Amino acid sequence: MMVGSFKEAKEASPELKEWAKKFKVQVENKLNKKFDSFEALQYTTQVVAGTNYRIKYQVGSDQYIHVKVHKPLPTSNSIEKVLEIEEGKTLEDAI
């Protein structure tokens, strides 16, 4: 596995979709918005000191955002957190 580069995007599995829900409050607070829906559709990963995820969320009927999340190594005593948010995305936009 190559460290540092993002991998090819994959469809979000049921397990990833459930895990990705936990970032809704962080995203809403950073954007100062509330979303009626917040469903992970696709994701890609990057191995660093832990794993960075880029996740494509559907947040409205035809509204999408891309969110970069960091999941630290279990031994780091750090928390999972939102690093970046890109608004105004479409379903077709690559993550």
pTM score of the predicted model: 0.91
Task: Name 93's Cβ contacts closer than 8 Å, sequence gap at least 6.
Answer: 56, 64, 66
What are 24-72's pLDDT values in tens digits? 999 999 999 999 999 999 999 999 889 999 999 999 999 999 999 999 9
Q: For domain 10-89, which architecture applies? A: Roll (3.10)
Break the chain into its structural domains and give their ranges. Answer: 10-89
